[in-house]
Amino acid sequence: MAKAVIVGGGFAGCTAACMLKEKHFDVTVIEASGVLGGGCRTYFYHGHPYTFGPHHLLINIEDTNVYDYFSKFLTLRELRHHCLTYVSEDDRFYTYPIHADEIKEMPDKDIIYGEIEKGRNAGTPENFEQYWINSVGNTLYDKFINTYSKKMWQIKNNKMIDEFAFSPKGLPLKEGSKQCFEGKKIVAYPVELDGFNSYFDRCVEGCKVLLNSPVTRFDIDQRGVIVNDELIRGDILINTASIDQVFDYMYGELKYIGRALLKVILPVERVTPEPYYFIHYAGDEPYTRIVEYKLLTGYQSPDTLIGIEFPSTENKLYPYPLKSEIEKAKRYIGQLPQNVYTLGRLGKYHYDNMDIIVKDCMELMKVI
């Protein structure tokens, strides 16, 4: 039986383990922490289930194979996703993504309409700031995007961002329904109160799992890793740890931004106004987002748990959308020898939701 060694027992590592098992590999998963699931693991705070930042499934409607994949393991409840953004200069909440219909309620609507018209004729943007100004004009950019993005990435200037597919999420200007992703994505959450936890356990059933076992060094020519001073080798090696670590940071360390999560229980059934349960803060508040978890998890309680997210340099969560960092990651990935693969948000240095990771794993299985 061919042997597969997987570094990292997060969502990507567990998913790869599950698929390799089906291909009859003898799989070993090596996880630094004491639990499986990485960023997607559900924990409990005074009975309330939560993940570190919300973790609902956002699956492209056409990706029925991905939805079916999740449904094999979990009972899913479909959700309608609604977001608000607080704009302190207008002293009010608007829906997010910025909705075309709400411009008429803004105090500076005439300026905004003029700017949108002007932006429509603008050329190809070179950076994140230009992209947004061209799309929605200076005023909306300043209200919704400018400060939020600088806060999110802890940067002084949004011109630094030259990859802008991701943050802040969403379309430049939404029309029609105010429901996020309507007609584009299925939004869903496991019915099980422990979220995806049972998925991780099922994925690694029959595999060898080493918890509390950080990989401290890679020996990729041997398709091996060093754990507790021991070399563990495979016929194939799949990495989901940060790709710079695989090469002992030879081209330099990759830059990430993290999050701190403040959990607060409030003595009310529900705190956010229906149908909203995600609130972004676009100004210089120290936090980026508030999420009311029970609206995702379905947990029943007379109290409610909100998670408040603060940008932090204490953990590695979001790869930076900077060309220099993306190029650095590509240089690392280009050095991988045969039968060594890299997956996941750290392994590929790319922010991907769970659905994309499933797709990546499916693609990988075609070449293994």
Cα–Cα distances (Å) from 177 to 107, 132, 150, in that order, read: 23, 21, 28
Task: State how beta strands 83-87 and 278-281 pair.
Answer: parallel
State the residue for tokens 């607080």: 86
Is the Cβ of residue 164 or residue 351 nearer to ligand FAD in the bound state? 351
Is the Cβ of residue 87 or residue 232 nearer to ligand FAD in the bound state? 232
CB of 115 to ligand FAD, least distance (A): 32
CB of 142 to ligand FAD, least distance (A): 25
By beta carbon distance, the residue nearest ligand FAD is: 10
Is the Cβ of residue 305 or residue 346 nearer to ligand FAD in the bound state? 346
CB of 96 to ligand FAD, least distance (A): 15
CB of 191 to ligand FAD, least distance (A): 17
Instruction: Kindly report the length of the chain.
Output: 368
At 94, list the tokens. Answer: 């608007």
How many C-beta neighbours within 10 Å does residue 362 have? 14
CB of 361 to ligand FAD, least distance (A): 10
Phi-psi region of 261 (alpha: psi -120 to 50; beta: other; left: phi over 0): beta
* Residues forming the site for ligand FAD (CB under 6 A): 7-13, 30-33, 38-40, 53-58, 214-215, 240-241, 245, 259, 317-318, 344-346, 352-355, 357
CB of 261 to ligand FAD, least distance (A): 8
Whether the CA torsion 357, 358, 360, 365 is positive or negative: it is positive
Which DSSP category does 254 fall into?
P
Cα separation, 335 vs 338, in Å, equals 10
Are the beta carbons of 71 and 265 closer than 8 angstroms?
Answer: no
- Helix boundaries (H) for 123-251: 128-140, 147-153, 197-204, 243-246
CB of 146 to ligand FAD, least distance (A): 21
Is the Cβ of residue 112 or residue 358 nearer to ligand FAD in the bound state? 358
CB of 345 to ligand FAD, least distance (A): 4
The candidate with the shortest Cα–Cα distance to 333, out of 269, 266, 243, is 243
Is the Cβ of residue 15 or residue 139 nearer to ligand FAD in the bound state? 15
Is the Cβ of residue 134 or residue 297 nearer to ligand FAD in the bound state? 297
Is the Cβ of residue 83 or residue 98 nearer to ligand FAD in the bound state? 83
Reduced to 3 states, what is the DSSP secondary structure of residue 4?
strand
At 64, list the tokens. Answer: 């029925």
Whether the CA torsion 72, 75, 77, 83 is positive or negative: it is negative
* Identity of the residue numbered 179: Q
Is the Cβ of residue 295 or residue 346 nearer to ligand FAD in the bound state? 346
